[in-house]
A and B are shown apart, each in its own frame.
Chain A
């Protein structure tokens, strides 16, 4: 229970720094605040200068940041930091950790890409770097290696991709004959899988947390609207047809959230266990925001209203770190193997 109290305190701290009435607060200031609060250090072991908190601490923060549609890209930063901290090959690893914990932004790519290695130079396109315009370096996970790439190096160009989701910005990186710096190699060969296996669970938990934080906020916003909007001489929240839809959303969110917190604490949960929990969270976020627009009526279709911001973030989240179909199938195969043929 002490642990729960600790998590609640952390959630309170995030709510204080990012109040619920300021959605999608400007990115740069939000990022400085994230760094000031020390949230980049939460998962890092104490002997590496971090706070050494369990992975549910990060879940708590991502959840609260999801509630306010945070533009600050804590998820890709923490994933990159996890990889860098575990690197056995990176020169000046300690220096990198220190700079990142101090607020230097280094994101990991959250989408796959294709890159060709021709005689030691790399060409191709990498996708899924959030807010890469803030970054001097990115961590790229590409087939066979993880490496840090300076965004201003020769043969590296940053391409901003226009997103429906207005709460975040996303970049591709185009490599044309880029010659990697051996001093910036984070992992290659056998260690790549080990690094991936450390990062991937955290990615699933983080996106699930962001999604369920957002789903909760979208539902609260919708319920609040129904309670104040009057038609037929009464608040429309009185209509049972609307009540039941909200109750069902609340029920789905609560169940997906219970699973998320449980899996965050289960260090032996498999990647399929985490991926399918994320898929469930994505599904909740999408269905809640889909309903949110419908329940708001016409106002939900206007750009001034916040409904669409949640919906667009929900749709993008569902594409990150493996889609729902992939994880549902993986979970199905795992369960089938669990109950081996008699």
Chain B
């Protein structure tokens, strides 16, 4: 689909800005640095985007850089992908999930306090999953008790959270806690804003199999959160999470699909390096992969189009996610096959990118997309039960 004159103008404006401001040579730099330095580099890039007016296109118009239509946001992300800029990992949860939650469910005081801070660089993580509550999130157990204090009531929290993205560098956390254990499990959950510097918060990065530390465990020992930092009513946190989880639906997968298409150049280069240009088996598999990648871009595009016209169906997002994550796996596997033994020697990883050309690392990283943000299996259930309307299993199974 071709751009309207307005979108074309935006595209060329963004392209010009990126040519002048996008970090150059970041791939090499992101390989040399420590994880903490990577977080710093992410802060710098976010700061630049805020200044340029491109950090929060999805926020309402009263915010600098906000008020962009979905079509305009799409142009922006297409350009970020085609310029091969670093992705914003550290500020992703704050600008999307935290912001959407605050805007939809926060009090005026909470919005006034936290939203400007996000634009100023304050970062957030998500404290949802627990060791015993993954796909079955509502069974979470992290306990909060309301206690009176001279300065006002607080929740005293004890428990553990896990898989919090880049929590070791974040300032705030969207924390789901259990405030009641009688009645349905969804009904006793409360949504809190946790200050990561509060006493009793212990963040431990998880060492991942490819050498990254993108996720953390958070241990909470007698941590106090003021009642003023509760979003929504007590016990009514489950409804708030739907604002959080529906914050970002489509742009990221579109951007990632386009980036994966651009990364086909890595496979092409590898085919040449390994002298397989006339290997028909390899060419077929490459052709198949490119077609699968193009179909991923096409369905991500179509999904966004449907959203723009309000004709999104339940399950559409799951289809896009499962398509992307599988093709990403296939991409890394073809790279591994072509790379052969060479890829079994350890090379430095590049933080924050899924298509680095370090094929073992890319392969291991691709699991992030089949497991995180609703596993492939959970998405299949959504597609089967809510889109194909296959009957649900009866609830209440006990051992």
Q: Which residues of A contact B (CB under 8 A)?
A: 1, 223, 226-227, 234-235, 237-238, 240, 242-244, 246-248, 250-251, 254-256, 258-259, 261-262, 265, 272-273, 276-277, 279-280, 325, 327-336, 338-339, 341-342
Highest count of chain A CB atoms <10 Å: which of B271, B299, B384: B384
- One of B287, B296, B309, B389 near A333 (C-beta < 8 A): B287
Highest count of chain A CB atoms <10 Å: which of B269, B285, B322, B392: B322
Closest-by-CB residue of B relative to A326 is: B284
Q: Name the prevailing secondary structure of the A interface residues.
A: helix
| Complex: A242 Cα to B288 Cα, angstroms | 27
B280 CB-CB contact with A under 8 Å: yes
- One of B286, B292, B302, B385 near A243 (C-beta < 8 A): B385
Q: Contact between B287 and A238 (Cβ–Cβ < 8 Å)?
A: no
Q: Contact between B291 and A331 (Cβ–Cβ < 8 Å)?
A: yes
Q: Contact between B302 and A261 (Cβ–Cβ < 8 Å)?
A: yes
Q: Contact between A250 and B387 (Cβ–Cβ < 8 Å)?
A: yes
State how many angstroms separate the Cβ of A7 from the closest Cβ of chain B.
13
State how many angstroms separate the Cβ of A297 from the closest Cβ of chain B.
16
B135 CB-CB contact with A under 8 Å: no
| Complex: A279 Cα to B280 Cα, angstroms | 16
The number of chain B residues with a CB under 8 A from chain A is 45
B323 CB-CB contact with A under 8 Å: yes
A-B interface, 9 closest residue pairs, ranked by CB to CB distance from nearest:
A331-B287, A332-B287, A332-B283, A243-B384, A339-B268, A258-B299, A247-B380, A259-B295, A247-B383
Q: Contact between B272 and A243 (Cβ–Cβ < 8 Å)?
A: no
B294 CB-CB contact with A under 8 Å: yes
Closest-by-CB residue of A relative to B266 is: A339
Q: Contact between B265 and A332 (Cβ–Cβ < 8 Å)?
A: no
B18 CB-CB contact with A under 8 Å: no
Highest count of chain A CB atoms <10 Å: which of B271, B280, B295, B319: B295
| 9 A-B pairs in the complex with CB atoms less than 8 angstroms apart | A238-B394, A243-B384, A247-B384, A262-B294, A279-B291, A328-B284, A329-B287, A331-B286, A331-B287
Contact with A along B304-315 (1 / 0, CB 8 A): 000001000000
State how many angstroms separate the Cβ of A87 from the closest Cβ of chain B.
32
Q: Contact between A251 and B287 (Cβ–Cβ < 8 Å)?
A: no
State how many angstroms separate the Cβ of B8 from the closest Cβ of chain A.
18
Q: Contact between A335 and B287 (Cβ–Cβ < 8 Å)?
A: yes
Closest-by-CB residue of B relative to A255 is: B295
State how many angstroms separate the Cβ of B315 from the closest Cβ of chain A.
8
Closest-by-CB residue of B relative to A330 is: B287
On whether A250 and B319 interact (CB within 8 A), knowing A255-B298, A279-B291, A339-B269, the answer reads yes
On whether A335 and B385 interact (CB within 8 A), knowing A227-B390, A248-B380, A258-B295, the answer reads no
- One of B272, B285, B380, B392 near A332 (C-beta < 8 A): B285
State how many angstroms separate the Cβ of A252 from the closest Cβ of chain B.
8
Neighbouring A residues of B388 by C-beta, 8 Å: 223, 243, 246-247, 250
| Complex: A328 Cα to B280 Cα, angstroms | 9
Q: Contact between A335 and B380 (Cβ–Cβ < 8 Å)?
A: no
Q: Contact between A332 and B282 (Cβ–Cβ < 8 Å)?
A: yes
Neighbouring A residues of B269 by C-beta, 8 Å: 339, 342
State how many angstroms separate the Cβ of B393 from the closest Cβ of chain A.
5
Neighbouring A residues of B285 by C-beta, 8 Å: 328, 332
Neighbouring B residues of A250 by C-beta, 8 Å: 319, 383-384, 387-388
Q: Contact between A246 and B390 (Cβ–Cβ < 8 Å)?
A: yes
Neighbouring A residues of B44 by C-beta, 8 Å: none
State how many angstroms separate the Cβ of B60 from the closest Cβ of chain A.
25
**In the complex, which residues 347-399 of chain B have their Cβ closer than 8 Å to any Cβ of chain A?**
377, 379-381, 383-385, 387-394
Q: Contact between B292 and A333 (Cβ–Cβ < 8 Å)?
A: no
